[in-house]
Structure 1
Amino acid sequence: MNQYFLSNSTDGGVTWDIILVGNKMKALAYPNNDKIILGYETKGVAVSENNGVDWSYNNFNETQINIKKIQFINPNYGWVCSEKAVYITSDGGITWDATGLSNGWYDALAIYVRGVDDGWLVKENGDVFRFDPYGGSNKWNQIGTLGGRCYGNNAGITFADSLVGYAVGYNYSYKSTDGGYNWKKIPQASYRNINGYFVMNKQEIFLCGLKGILYSSNGGENFATVYYDGVELQSIHFSDTQYGWAVDSDGNIIKTTDGGQTWTSGNSNQAFPPSITSIIDKPNDEGSFVILEFERSMLDGINNSEVLIHYSIFSIVHNNAIFLKQVNPTNSTHYSIELPSVGDSTASGIIWSYYRVDAVTQLGSIYKSQVERGYSVDNLSPQPPSNLNGTLKTNRIELNWKQSLSVDVIKYQIFRSYNEFFTVDTLNFYYEVDDSLFIDANLPLGETDFLYYSVCAVDAAGNRSVDSVRVAVPLNTTGVKEIGIPNEFYLYQNYPNPFNPGTIIEFTLPQSTHIKLTVYDTKGELIKILANDRYNMGKHSIQFDSSDLSSGVYFYRLTYNGKNITKKMLLLR
């Protein structure tokens, strides 16, 4: 069975003490610092005159009375709205009189009174009633209808003055400007899963629920979100124009001191939650991860009032907290964690990922950070295709290659030129396919002796690989001819250049020999050995991956037979 708690604070909401534990508490009023009136689903009303130390109960001689709302306009005069009647007291809750009693009250939802002889009532079906103290046995007369349902545990009706009023329900909210006779739906406050509301005046309205706290400064015409941390809020209340509180379903309380424009933790441990400082894309991946950084909780090596066990990191998806990772505290000032994102934002626009970090203590306390967001992109080029071959057939050239090893490749772009040293660019782009075979039937016979081809892989995010080793296909015979190999050792300029993160380094050998291909930084320090083996005569291609290097100038060197050839390349992040 679920238990309900009644807590009080004597320091402006900084600390809270449980003063009563019970079942199915439904409504609350506190007309002064000592007096508390509590409504139950089954036990009627409980009244305490000494701040919860002692209680007296009144069930109005009913069973399953189901109190919906309680309102007191002073310590003596108050109202109770239940499923079976609307009761009034003038002696502080000692005795109660029914102000309307019939089967028609079984769906009465809430009341709002402005004085001993003035009030409104709304039923779940949307009917609105006005109180008439001279109306005989039934003192409530219907004056209008909302035009739709108004329901929810914390739904209700309130008026800023004798004319302007609001009726707020879980999915529908309404406004009247003529004392409750006519109502219109508030579009931005409907279908928003509203649990609580507070009307500051005719223009300023606060709503709370699944989407945090919404605020309107123009009588409900427009609402803006002033607080949201991914947790559903249940109730909101202000003590004056500056100080207010809201509570979520876990009992966590937030507080405002500036009229609701900013909100912070309402307990004494407001410095204890960790704070997310940044969420950035993880570099050199395929759009699957982000790097989240957060500042430690004050309990992590600073304040030892509670023992911090760990941090729990959650992904917030459709207001649901999904556990991702647990991090042990290390007394560090900052933490940096790699987390999965909900989607790749490279090709289809930004897909936001929302995260929260909780500090969990040995006592079971949980201090939650604000929810923050970030996104990831695919910034890793796929590996190029390999083993490109071309064959001249009758009136066509057939190209085939070995597909890229990258799993997210969706197509291959083919480049063609009459020039052996062509550039892979838009001018030389020829065709694209989703397989590893292409037939070129558009041959410029008589215009050139050779056609030169290269193929690039393209991934789902639009990233293109470096091009494959190029082939030259003769147009006057059948077969494949690799691009001309000089009769000397030769080291080509890497391509692309500048590059990030991968580039291709090609070299030709006029004879079979042992070679060494190395990369150095500007200080002359060895960065990586790319090749150190015996290679056959011909042209060779080696891919250099710089994922673990920073931007800057690097040198690559081909060493053979005691001689060196060195070229420069530029890495740009």
Structure 2
Amino acid sequence: MKTAATFVLFFILGLLNITTAQWVNITPPESDTTNFAVYTVNSDVAFISRGNKGTLLKTTNAGLNWALIPNPSTQGINKIQFLDENTGFLGGNNALFKTTNGGVSWITLTETDGFADISFINENTGYMVSISSPPKIYRTTDGGLNYTSRTIFSHINYSGAALSILNQSIIFLLTFRPASDSSIVFKCTNWDSAFTPVYFTKPMCYDISFIDENTGVICGNMGALKRTSNGGIDWVNVNPGNNITFQALHLNNSLSGYVAGNSGSIFKTTNSGINWVQQNSQTSWYINDIHVLPGDSTGFAVGEFGTILKRTNGGFTFLTHESGNIPAGFTLFQNYPNPFNPATKISFALPESGITLLEIFDITGRLVSEIVNTKLSAGMHEYSFDAMDLAAGLYFCKLTFGTGGSSETAFSEVKKMLLIK
């Protein structure tokens, strides 16, 4: 049986016609519930692709609930991108899909190829790379109605892996070849010009992200994490010292970025990929995708066995343990460890079910993290709080129960927490 420290966050889709899901602590279900892709639209809205049949989930309340939305594909969805709450695209194993109403309905744009990656720079102009070999890149300038394509016949044994599009001129393409455990980075400075190979590397890489014409990062097998500062000509190893397989990479602004992969590993950079610091994800499951808003305040990471991690101002937080034993009264326990660096566990007891709010404030009274804001059942609850991005100092953990709910019971308690670094 797994201990509380190794429980991961899962949600259960309701039976039959129930279309919403809440995050609860359950035994991991079968492997076909793996989450493959995630896209964070804003602080409230996000989308997830789940399973091998392209199941789609949507939250409109920052991850508290997830609802099934119409599924345009019977096969897997590899990539999700939304330009706003209404307009979005899906790169699937058999087609490209588009919605203009937030996922209520989808239209099929092309069924010629499955797509490993998609990148739209506006509603009209977008690029896609096929999962086929040799690599084939598509471009649309009318929102997906028509396409032109380019095939890289010079490397017929390689397949498309990922794209990084800076503007309508500069395109970086990452390809890979499993048979030789190798990858090639291509660069194109004009759609009508050639895709030029600029870097060959081993081991194989899976993702690429550029923040400007010169600065970019690639990640992949056996701890492959490399950075360029001259447009892909030269690459420097920036691995923090491990052999983790990095699956997903996202540079969300000019300084901040995340890379994630096996064993629940998440690393963050705050200096454009020069240095990477591991974050406490509190899960050991493989992470397939990660997407954080440019402001670095909200984001999600997803992976195998239904794993969903949410990032708030204070770091990634999720439920680690929930007990069905009914306590005699309300209690907010002292966090443990305390002092802590950078993660700690917060436990509390609820003698009845109701709306529960668990918040972290700094010494000025500013809210730095909202860990829980939903209806919880009666019992013992334990959450993990990661303060990797917060400054050392005194913080306050506040538990509030009964506000906004049907219960007449009201309870509030505060505990001091000391973060040391």
Same fold (TM over 0.5): yes
Once the 2 structures are TM-superposed, how far is the Cα of residue 26 of structure 1 from its aligned partner? 1.1
Counterparts in 2 of 1:166-315, with a 5 A limit? 166-171=217-222, 172-188=224-240, 191-209=243-261, 210-232=263-285, 233-241=287-295, 242-258=297-313, 261-265=314-318, 273=322, 295=347, 298=350, 301-303=351-353
The 1:33/1:331 distance shift into structure 2, 3 A limit, reads closer
Give the alignment's TM-score, normalised by structure 1: 0.44
The 1:371/1:271 distance shift into structure 2, 3 A limit, reads closer
Partner of 2:116, secondary structure, is strand
The 1:332/1:111 distance shift into structure 2, 3 A limit, reads closer
Distance 1:180 1:190 in 2: 23
One-letter amino acid of the counterpart of residue 4, structure 1: G
Partner of 2:65, secondary structure, is coil
Distance 1:192 1:297 in 2: 38
List gaps (5 residues or longer) in structure 1: 280-292, 306-329, 334-358, 360-367, 373-573
Once the 2 structures are TM-superposed, how far is the Cα of residue 57 of structure 1 from its aligned partner? 1.7
Does the 8 Å CA contact 2:250/2:290 hold for their aligned counterparts?
yes
Report the equivalent of 1:289: none
Distance 1:193 1:83 in 2: 20
Distance 2:204 2:334 in 1: 38
Please tell me whether Structure 1 or Structure 2 has the larger radius of gyration of its CA atoms.
Answer: 1
Once the 2 structures are TM-superposed, how far is the Cα of residue 73 of structure 1 from its aligned partner? 0.6
Structure 1 position 51 matched with structure 2 position 128: no
Over the aligned positions, Cα root-mean-square deviation in angstroms equals 3.4
Report the equivalent of 2:216: 165
Distance 1:14 1:134 in 2: 42
Distance 2:378 2:108 in 1: 52
Report the equivalent of 1:26: 78
Does the 8 Å CA contact 2:199/2:233 hold for their aligned counterparts?
yes
The 1:190/1:169 distance shift into structure 2, 3 A limit, reads farther
Report the equivalent of 1:102: 153
Report the equivalent of 1:129: 186
Distance 1:100 1:177 in 2: 27
The 1:50/1:200 distance shift into structure 2, 3 A limit, reads closer
One-letter amino acid of the counterpart of residue 197, structure 1: L
State the Cα deviation string for residues 477-519 of structure 1 (Å, max 9, x = none). Answer: xxxxxxxxxxxxxxxxxxxxxxxxxxxxxxxxxxxxxxxxxxx
Report the equivalent of 1:66: 114
The higher relative CO (CA closer than 8 Å, separation ≥ 6) is in 2
One-letter amino acid of the counterpart of residue 240, structure 1: P
Once the 2 structures are TM-superposed, how far is the Cα of residue 296 of structure 1 from its aligned partner? 5.4
Partner of 1:255, secondary structure, is strand
Does the 8 Å CA contact 1:230/1:371 hold for their aligned counterparts?
no
Partner of 1:126, secondary structure, is strand
Does the 8 Å CA contact 2:96/2:108 hold for their aligned counterparts?
yes
Counterparts in 2 of 1:86-485, with a 5 A limit? 86-102=137-153, 104=155, 106-124=158-176, 125-133=182-190, 135=192, 139-142=194-197, 144-151=198-205, 155-171=206-222, 172-188=224-240, 191-209=243-261, 210-232=263-285, 233-241=287-295, 242-258=297-313, 261-265=314-318, 273=322, 295=347, 298=350, 301-303=351-353, 369-370=383-384
The percentage of counterpart residues that share the same residue type is 19
Give the alignment's TM-score, normalised by structure 2: 0.59
State the Cα deviation string for residues 22-69 of structure 1 (Å, max 9, x = none). Answer: 42111111122212211122x221122222222222445x3xx33110
One-letter amino acid of the counterpart of residue 14, structure 1: L
State the Cα deviation string for residues 374-429 of structure 1 (Å, max 9, x = none). Answer: xxxxxxxxxxxxxxxxxxxxxxxxxxxxxxxxxxxxxxxxxxxxxxxxxxxxxxxx
The 1:180/1:55 distance shift into structure 2, 3 A limit, reads same
Structure 1 position 11 matched with structure 2 position 64: no
Distance 2:110 2:191 in 1: 26
Distance 1:183 1:190 in 2: 18
Distance 2:98 2:272 in 1: 35
Q: How many residues align?
A: 285
Distance 2:201 2:260 in 1: 23
Partner of 1:187, secondary structure, is coil
Does the 8 Å CA contact 1:213/1:225 hold for their aligned counterparts?
yes
One-letter amino acid of the counterpart of residue 84, structure 2: N
Once the 2 structures are TM-superposed, how far is the Cα of residue 277 of structure 1 from its aligned partner? 5.9
Structure 1 position 40 matched with structure 2 position 87: no
Distance 1:175 1:72 in 2: 24
Does the 8 Å CA contact 1:276/1:370 hold for their aligned counterparts?
no
Distance 1:56 1:208 in 2: 32
The 1:11/1:230 distance shift into structure 2, 3 A limit, reads closer
One-letter amino acid of the counterpart of residue 237, structure 1: H
One-letter amino acid of the counterpart of residue 160, structure 1: I
Partner of 1:195, secondary structure, is strand
One-letter amino acid of the counterpart of residue 231, structure 1: S
